[in-house]
Amino acid sequence: MKKQKVSSAVIRRLPRYYRHLTDLYLAGVVRISSSALGKSMNLTASQIRQDLSCFGEFGQQGYGYNVESLRDEIAEILGMNQKHTAVILGVGNLGRALMENFHFDRSGFTLTAAFDVDPNLIGKSVSDVQVHPVEELERYLRETSVSVGVLTVPRAAAAPMSERLVAGGVKGIWNFTNAELDMGRSGVVVENVHFADSLLALSYMISEAP
């Protein structure tokens, strides 16, 4: 399958496709038309055909999509079979919430280690993942292939920790701090989870027109 230049709007929709197709698959649905898939996702059939055409030929005229194979293709496109690994920096409430409740494996990731400065946490395990002293980060990144660093540190630590991750050779940073990270020319990708942007969008939607 060839991968061409894909717009960020399409990239944002791919995980939703994956989620919906997984639900359909688990519900025992074998095939689905683009219009039915669109209806369940609030997209038009032509939007769906256009999105998926970015990645090659899927589905057949008059038959629709095979749910399982389309799901597998999208998983492949999303890189879910590339054995990505992640480490988490900062085992505060948010870091711990991710370690205890977020299923990294369902997104194709293995969480291999956590790092913190708190002596009370170091050496402990959370959901079978060990918390290391942050001084060991560089050695760990040298000795282990790590795709992504998850930043759940306080805002003030965001910039220095992201620099250490970049120097250590990660490909991406999943940034939960509300700091804007400057990756310069490193080529490292930052994905921000901006809680405030999400709440403000909700604020807009529930507000009366001024």
Helix (H) or strand (E) holding 173: strand 172-175
Helix (H, G, I), strand (E, B) or coil at 83: coil
Interacting residue with a copy of itself among 32, 70, 84, 115 (CB under 8 A): 84
Q: What is the rounded CA–CA span in Å between residue 180 and residue 177? A: 8
Binding test (CB under 8 A) with a copy of itself, winner from 7, 50, 82, 127: 82
Greatest C-alpha distance within the chain: 62
Interface characters, 40-79, with a copy of itself (x: CB under 8 A): ------------------------------------xxxx
Backbone region of residue 150 per phi and psi (left: phi > 0; alpha: psi in -120 to 50; beta: other values): beta
Say whether residue 171 binds a copy of itself (CB under 8 A): yes
Can you tell me whether residue 149 is helix, strand or coil?
Answer: strand
Closest CB to a copy of itself among 53 and 136? 53
Q: Provide the minimum distance between the beta carbon of 129 and a copy of itself in the complex, in angstroms, as a whole number.
A: 14
Q: Nearer Cβ to a copy of itself, position 40 or 136?
A: 40
Q: Does 16 bind a copy of itself (CB under 8 A)?
A: yes
